[in-house]
Amino acid sequence: MSDPVSRTILLLDIEKYSARDDVEQAYLRRMLYGITDRALESAGIDKTVRLRADRGDSVMELIDAGASVIALLRALLTEVPVQLRAVNRTASTSAQIRLRAVLATGYVAVDELDGWVGSDLNLACRLLDGDPLRAALRERSDDFALCVSESVHRGIIQHDYPGVPADSFHAITVPSKNGPLLAWLHGRVPEHVGRQHDADSPAQEPRRPSREPSPVTFLGGSPSFGGSFVNGDQHGVSGGTVNGDVHLGGGGAGGKGDRG
């Protein structure tokens, strides 16, 4: 197996593929590959910097880390919806193509059987198969739903680059067999999908301890600091109150009064 290297991971999946007959499935696969190739080419990503795996109703692309993720995001947000509209305008009702997509980054190795290995790839697949992305596509009229990993949001989207508006992505929780996963969904979040409200909010600055001394009340006795006595009721500027006779330290009054 090769050493794991940093990759951009793109996954695209056809909705309700298994419900079609063989002729329709063959047509949908051709459309999927055509849409994927045109989107990648529009982002300046040619076939020399990517690997493709065929998964029947889906396609998986491993893209060299040197390729622009920003350009790819722009293509996914603009080119893919345009391509889908063009294809579906001339397709029959039974041959309409609707896509779920996931964009992630991480380390992936290729083994001696040309298999792909990596926990970051596994995470991307779980986002693709998760209920939140499926639910989002069911509610969309533009035939496309995109989800990105936390690493893509942190490295690219939150910085609000032109053509990749940060406020159009919303944090969601994707249940998985290994526990909940944080991801970011483009567009409206379905009502029943768990949202990560805390992730949408700016980080709170840690509270610093106050430099102001806490008020202290002495009850009974005459206080003495370093040997000097204070008699009677005293009201300090920082809120302290002294009543009676209290002695703290110093000499000459060790046994006088009560200590509060």
Class of domain 5-200: alpha beta
Asked if residues 24 and 83 have their Cβ atoms less than 8 Å apart, the reply is no
pLDDT of 222 strictly over 60: no
Q: Give the model's confidence band at 30: pLDDT under 50 very low, under 70 low, under 90 confident, else very high.
A: very high
Predicted pLDDT at 237: 42
pLDDT: which is higher, 151 or 210: 151
Give dist(CA 252, CA 227) in Å, integer: 8
Q: Give the model's confidence band at 196: pLDDT under 50 very low, under 70 low, under 90 confident, else very high.
A: low
Convert the pLDDT of each residue in 85-114 to its tens digit: 999 999 999 899 999 999 999 999 988 888
Q: Which residue spans of the chain are classified as CATH 3.30.70.1230? A: 5-200
**Distance set, CA 1 to CA 9, 43, 66, 111 (Å):** 19, 30, 22, 4
- Residue 238: phi and psi, rounded to 5, are -100, 15
What is the mean pLDDT of the segment spanning 23-45?
95
Asked if residues 163 and 78 have their Cβ atoms less than 8 Å apart, the reply is yes
Q: Give the model's confidence band at 235: pLDDT under 50 very low, under 70 low, under 90 confident, else very high.
A: very low
Bridge partner residues of 72 (DSSP): none
Predicted pLDDT at 195: 62
Q: How big, in percent rounded to 5, are the helix, strand and coil portions of the chain?
A: 35, 25, 40
Convert the pLDDT of each residue in 135-187 to its tens digit: 999 999 889 999 999 999 999 999 999 999 999 999 999 998 888 999 999 99
Bridge partner residues of 10 (DSSP): 61, 103
